Amino acid sequence: MNIIVFFQEYLRSAIRRPSQFLKKYPSRLCTICGYEGRFLDVGPRPEARCPNCSSKERDRIMGLYLRRNGLDLSDKAVLHFSPERPFFRLWRRNPRYVAGDVKISKVANAVVDITDIQFDDGHFDYLICHHILEHVAEDAKGIDECLRVLKPGGSALFSVPLDQERAETWEPPPDMPAAEVERICGWDHVRLYGRDFPDKLSKAGFSISEITFTQEEGERHRLTEKHGLALQGLDRIFVGTVPVEAGDSQPSGLSPSADASAGIPSNSARGKALVLD
């Protein structure tokens, strides 16, 4: 158990939302750190956070994917934009892990502009880009850059706030004032993505699949956001793989494997093995 994180998360949660402790919550299992027990509320999202590693719903979907496919990124060349804290803690000692942000940050080790990435073609095995592109004016350029810096056979994980009701992405007219764009799209967002988001990735050259999970997995690992009684705002994560051309050498150890027990370290808070699937 990570005592310091656990204490900080409980304290923060108790101050912000003390009423949550009057409710009885079921035991959940974190796909990243293996903690099993009560999760904590974050704002309006009950049971959103794992108290042992600070993971939230989206992080645990990614954790499920990595574990399912036996992917261990702790020694791979990884580019991770605006890293989520649980993964930054896991991988920061990997000398090939580039945790990039647009400015210097405690949870980053490099300044990286997604539209002009300062690495050679085919440098990375893996790339993680969650909730970044909605802030980027030239998102197509950003997607092209992600494709360029990945090795053939390498993969990128993408997610954006995606409006399921919208077939096509809405781009604001060029003369619309920034304040109005922000009012419509949300803080610092420059567009509203629709269901065509994965098409944008495939048009750039990625081969696309989506991380899916069962309702049971959703409940067990708390992968969805619950507002009131309804499950909403399900974060969809798309996996974009760079096609391998004849003559290309593939990065090693990145092909999804059926061995779900390999890879991500498990430090279950109660000493129980982390068992998924």
CB of 69 vs Zn ion, minimal distance in Å: 19
When asked if residue 40 is in the footprint of Zn ion (CB under 5 A), the reply is no
Sole window of 18-26, 45-53, 146-154, 247-255 interacting with Zn ion (rule: CB under 5 A)? 45-53
Cβ atoms of residues 198 and 188 within 8 Å = no
Q: Tell me the closest approach of the beta carbon of residue 65 to Zn ion, in angstroms.
A: 15
What type of residue is 157? L
Distance CA 1, CA 82 (A): 25
Q: Does 201 bind Zn ion (CB under 5 A)?
A: no
| Contacting residue, 30, 42, 108, 201, with Zn ion by CB under 5 A | 30
Query: Between residues 84 and 134, which has the closer beta carbon with respect to Zn ion?
Result: 84
Which of 134, 225 has the CB closer to Zn ion? Answer: 225
Q: How far is the CB of 264 from Zn ion (least distance, A)?
A: 11
55 part of the interface to Zn ion, by CB under 5 A: yes
Measuring CA to CA, how many Å separate 36 from each of 51, 86, 256? 10, 16, 26
Nearest approach, Cβ of residue 29 and Zn ion (Å): 9
Judged by CB under 5 A, the stretch of 11-19, 48-56, 248-256, 268-276 that binds Zn ion is 48-56
Residue of 40, 53, 98, 157 that binds Zn ion (CB under 5 A) = 53
Helix, strand, coil fractions of the chain, as percent rounded to 5: 25, 20, 50
168-171, Cβ contacts within 8 angstroms, sequence gap of 24 or more: 168/194, 168/195, 168/196, 169/193, 169/194, 169/196, 169/197, 169/200, 170/194
Q: Work out the end-to-end distance of the chain between its first and last CA atoms, rounded to an integer number of angstroms.
A: 23
> Looking at 22-30, 89-97, 225-233, 243-251, which segment touches Zn ion (CB under 5 A)?
22-30
Instruction: Work out whether 33 is an interface residue with Zn ion (CB under 5 A).
Output: yes
149: helix, coil or strand? helix
Q: Indicate the DSSP class of residue 185.
A: H
**Considering the rule CB under 5 A, would residue 42 count as an interface residue with Zn ion?**
no
> Which of 53/99 has CB closer to Zn ion?
53
- Whether the CB-CB separation of 47 and 40 falls below 8 Å is answered with yes
Binding site residues, Zn ion, CB under 5 A: 30, 32-33, 35, 50, 52-53, 55
